[in-house]
Amino acid sequence: MTTWIKGIAALSLFLLASLCLQRFRSGFSAVEVKRAGLEATESAPEPVAEPAPDSLLTTTNAATGIITTNAMSSGVGAASTNTTPGGSGSKAKAPDKSRSFLWMGGFVASLLGLAGLVGWEVARWFSRRTGDVLLSENAPGTTDAEYEEAEAEWANGNPLEAIRMMREYLDKNPSEQYAAIRIAEIYEKDLHNYVAASLELEEVLGKRLSREKWGWTAIHLANLYSGKMHQPDKAVAWLERIIRDYPDTAAAKKARVRLGVPEGQSLPAEPPVPEAGSESADSNLPKGFTSKKR
């Protein structure tokens, strides 16, 4: 996944999370307002008629009929007054919050996707930094001022000039191979010249290095061949060489995982290069011909 695709994906997840959160908040607030209105309507007390005095109960039969008729009319009016605007006396259903919680679910899912993408990039960054530290294990705690000037030139956006200055520093200090590895890194990451980077690393591997330093430098070279340069055969050859020459290193363990070679299983030795004048060297010549003696 390229950088701009990952950037678009991260921006899309962020906007989606913001939209879901906004919809959840607005929907949840509307539900709470509606529920508050329903509770206020339901809690309104119904008026209760006060009992009439005893003196009013002693009326004539005609008056009793009139009062009864008026009471029935009042009851009908009260009943009609208590009806809901929709014409039904039943209580209104409480608003449903499920839609609001669906928006909350979308917000959480978008946030998790964004966190996973960011975490993946952070893990890759730390992995690259760890590899750089392992490859530069011989780098001193305080570097020379001349080397620092070369790094400052690189920071100013002049990678070619930085490479030139680092080569001069390396010529004066041939044991400081971290400078050569830094040159290969600039070729690879800044100039995208993968052939030059691979040549630099191969030259470093021809120097006298510690076992772990040699192994991890070879791993870096194998990754370059298998990735940017699309030459898996060369990558496999370097991984096999790590296993054969430095089987007890951490780099060899990683190479075994890459090649699927079980722990403890040895690889066949490389075929020896035939010397001039030997039978194996003469085997490719026509019958009766031998290689020229020097």
pLDDT in tens, the chain (294 residues): 556 677 788 888 888 888 888 877 777 676 665 665 555 555 555 555 555 555 444 444 444 444 444 544 444 444 444 444 444 444 444 455 667 677 778 878 888 888 887 887 777 666 555 554 444 444 444 467 889 999 999 999 999 999 999 999 999 999 899 999 999 999 999 999 999 999 999 999 999 889 999 999 999 999 999 999 999 999 999 999 999 999 999 999 999 999 988 887 767 666 544 444 444 444 444 444 444 444
Residues in CB range of 14: below 8 A, 6 or more apart: 110, 114
Sign of CA dihedral 92, 94, 98, 99: positive
Cα gap 45→42, rounded to integer Å: 8
Number of Cβ within a 10 Å radius of residue 157: 9
Q: Model pTM greater than 0.85?
A: no
